[in-house]
Amino acid sequence: MHSWPPSSDCQRCYSNPRGGQREAGPGHGLVRPRRTDSGLLTLLTADASGDRVHGAAVRIPPQEGSPLDPETPLGANHRLLASVGAGASGEVWRGRDIRSDEVVAAKVLHPHHARDHEVVARFVAERSLLTGLDHPSVVHVRDLIVDDGRLAIVMDYLPSSARQVLDELGTVPPAAAVGIMRRVMEALAYAHGKRIIHRDVKPDNILLSEAWGDLEPTDVQLTDFGIARIVGDGDASTSGIGTPAYMAPELIETGQAGEASDVYSAGITLYELLAGRTPFGNAGTAMTIGLRHLRERPLPLDVPEPLTEVLDLMLAKDPEERPSAAELAEKLAEILPDCKDVPALEPLPDSELHQGTILKGVTPRPRVGDAAPSSPSSAPSLGHSASDTVLKPLQELPSAKPVVTPSEPPPRLSRRKLIALIAAIVLVVGGAAALIIPRVVSSQAGKKKTEVSAAPSATQADQPLPTGLTVSRSATYDASREQITLEIRYAAQNAPLTGPFLEVVPALGDDSSCAKVTWADGAGRAHSPTETGITAKCGWTLSPGTLGVQSAETVRATIPVTGDAPSTQDLNQWLSALAERTRAVITDGELQSTAYPVQRMTGIQLVAPPRVVSQVPLELTLLPVWPSGPDELNPLLHSPAVGRPTRMLTSIAGEDGVRFADGCGGALRVSPDGLTVSTVSIAPSCRVNAQVGNFSFVSSNEFVITARS
C-alpha cells in the first residue's frame, strides 16, 4: 500500500504505461503525438486515451513554420524555456515572464491552427472570456498571444498533474480522489454558470500545486478551458473534440455535448483515480471504446457506499439523470468524512475490462438469428490501425455478419453476386472520392491563397481590472488604404459597467508623438485634463455605452500610416505601448481624481461607526479606493440612502448593484432591497458584509452593538 500524500518525485519524467514518455514540467501530462512517415499527425491511435478526436486527420509537414527553441520570444513579454509535452491541439512549454521573471506555462497551438482564419478569429474572440475566468480551482489564463504566425495561451505554472500522480502511484486513496474531484466540480460549476463547457475533463487537465495534498481550492486547478471552442467549429456543444475514454454517451452517439457531458467525464476521471484505469479501458479504436460507453456498466469498486452512489450518478447513461456540477461539489464534500482513512485500492487489471454489465436497449442492431445483444468483443471492426481517426459523430453500428457454427459451412456468394458486390464497392469508393478530393484540393488552394494575402495583424489583452473590466486590443494593417484599423473591446464580468474609458494612443514606432486617430461612430473624443484633473498625453475618452453582465462592446478607429508598411511585430509592439501608456495613467498613485472610475477604482471600503446601540438604523458609508488610497471626500453611498445612487456608483455596479448582508450572526436586519441595515440585538463584535458590483466580498470594520442607556 503506498503512502499518502505522494513524494515530490511526481515532478520527474515518468514512463507512460500506455506507451511513450510523459514529461513533467507544468504538469499538463500531454503525450507527444506520433507521426507517420508521410507526416500525418496521428490524432487518435489505438491508445485512445492519449489524444483528442478532431473528426479528421490533420497533415502537418515536418518542417512547417518557424521552429520553437529555448529563449524563443513569445509576444513582447514572454520567452520559451523548454518543451514539456505535446497533444493534439498544441505543444506545451515552460516559459518566463520577462517583466516579473515568473515561470509560466505556454500552450502553443499547432501551426495549421494559426493559418486557419476562422480559428484565429475565435482565438481573438475568446481572449477576454478566458482571461476573465477567475476561480481558485481554474488555472488562470494570463494572455492569449498571436505572434509571428503562432497562437499561444499563457497560463499560470503548476508543477504536477493528476495524470502524473496516477503514473507514480497507480491509484489514489478515496479521500484524496474525492477531494480532488470536489475542486474539479467547483471549477466546472463556476464555468457552467458562465455557459462554458469544458469538453475534455481528464487527469491530464487537472493540475496540482506542490502542496496539493492539502486539497485547498488553489491546490487543484482545471485547465484547457476554451480549447474546444477555439480549435473546434466554434460551438462547444458540437465541435468534434474530446478524448474517447472520457466521452459521454450522448457525445459519442449524437455529437452533442452539454454540462452533463462534463459531469460524465469527471465521473470517468474519479473512477480512474480510484481504480488506476478508466472503467471502459483505453485500448482499442474509438468506436470500440465508444461502444463500451454506450452499452456497459463499469465494474463496481470496493469503496464506501456513499462514494459508489456518487459514481453511479455521475456515470448515468442518460444525461438527464446526472446531477449538476454544483450539486456534486456539495455531495463530494459531504461524503469526504466517509472516505477518511480508507486505503487506496489495488489497480484494477485490464483483464477484467469486459466483465461489466451489458445494458439492454442501447445496443446496436441485433445480429441475424440472435436475439441477444452482441458483446463488445463481437462488435464489427472499424479499423485495426493504431493511427485510425474517428469521424464524429459515431453513428449506429451496421449489422454484423450472420452467425455460423463449425458444423455448417459458411454461405458462399455466386459468381454473379460477387461481381455485383465488387462493382457496388467500386462505385461507393469512387463516388466518395469524387466528393471528397475536389473539396480537399479546393480547400488547400483556398488556404494557400489566403496565406499569401494575409495582412499583418496583432492582438493584445489586459488582465481583468478589479471592477471586472477586461480590455483587449487588435490592429490590422490595410496596405491598399495605407491605414491601421484599431479595435478596442471592453467586456464586463459580473456587473454592468459604464464608461467613459481612457485610452492612450501614441504614434506607431514613436512613443513621443501621438497617432492621428479617427474614431468610428463618434465613439471617441480628445481627453480633457481640465474636466478630469488627469494629464494624459495622446489620451482619448471613449464611450462604447453600457456593458451588460458578461457582455462586451467594441470601438473602432483608423490610423493612417506614412512610410514603410508595419510588420506584425511592429503592430504587437505598438499595441503593447498603448496598453502600457494607458496603464501608467490609470494606476498613477499621485492622482487625486474621480474620473474613469471603472478603470481606476481598485477597491471598496465599507465604514461603520465603531459603536452603535440596538434597534436603530445602522449608518454605513461606501468609499471608493483609488491607487492613491480611500477617498473620504467622494463617497459612493451613504446608507440609509436618500435619492438616486451616484453616477460613480452606477458606473461600476449598475442601478441595483449594491447589497448589504448580516455579518453578525443575526444581530442585524437587512431590508428586502439589501440597502438598509438595522441593529436588532447587542453584539460585542460585529461586521457588515456587502457586494458592490464585481467587488463580491466587501467587509466593514468591526463595531460593537450596545443596549440603549
Cβ atoms of 436 and 542 within 8 Å: the answer is: no
Cβ atoms of 520 and 557 within 8 Å: the answer is: yes
Pick the closest to residue 152 from 83, 212, 222 (CA basis). Answer: 83
Residue 195 CA to residue 197 CA, distance in Å, equals 7
Q: What is the DSSP letter of 497?
A: B
Residue 624 CA to residue 626 CA, distance in Å, equals 6
DSSP states of 213-246:
GG--GGGEEE--TTHHHHHSSS-TTT-----GGG
**401 marked ligand binding residue:** no
How far from each other are the two terminal CA atoms of the chain, in whole angstroms? 67
435 Cβ contact partners less than 8 Å away, ≥ 6 residues apart: none
Residue 275 CA to residue 171 CA, distance in Å, equals 6
Cβ atoms of 130 and 227 within 8 Å: the answer is: no
Residue 277 CA to residue 291 CA, distance in Å, equals 17
Cβ atoms of 242 and 199 within 8 Å: the answer is: yes
Residue 492 CA to residue 128 CA, distance in Å, equals 9
Pick the closest to residue 658 from 496, 464, 490 (CA basis). Answer: 496
Task: Look up residue 171 and give its three cell numbers.
Answer: 491509484
Helices (H) and strands (E) in the chain, counts: 16, 35
423 Cβ contact partners less than 8 Å away, ≥ 6 residues apart: none
Residue 494 CA to residue 502 CA, distance in Å, equals 21
Cβ atoms of 204 and 2 within 8 Å: the answer is: no
Q: Which amino acid is at 273?
A: L
Nearest 10 degrees: Cα torsion 409, 415, 417, 421: 100
Residue 186 CA to residue 184 CA, distance in Å, equals 5
CA 646 to each of CA 597, 638, 639, 650, 693: distance values in angstroms, whole numbers, following the listed order: 12, 10, 13, 6, 14
> Cell 475514454 sits at which residue?
245
Please return the burial class of 311, using the count of CB atoms within 10 Å of its CB with bins 0-12, 13-18 and 19+. Answer: buried
Query: What is the H or E stretch that residue 603 is in?
Result: strand 603-607
Residue 556 CA to residue 578 CA, distance in Å, equals 14
For the chain, state the CA radius of gyration: 29
461 Cβ contact partners less than 8 Å away, ≥ 6 residues apart: 127, 128, 131, 143, 144, 470, 471, 472, 473
Q: Which residues carry out catalysis?
A: 200
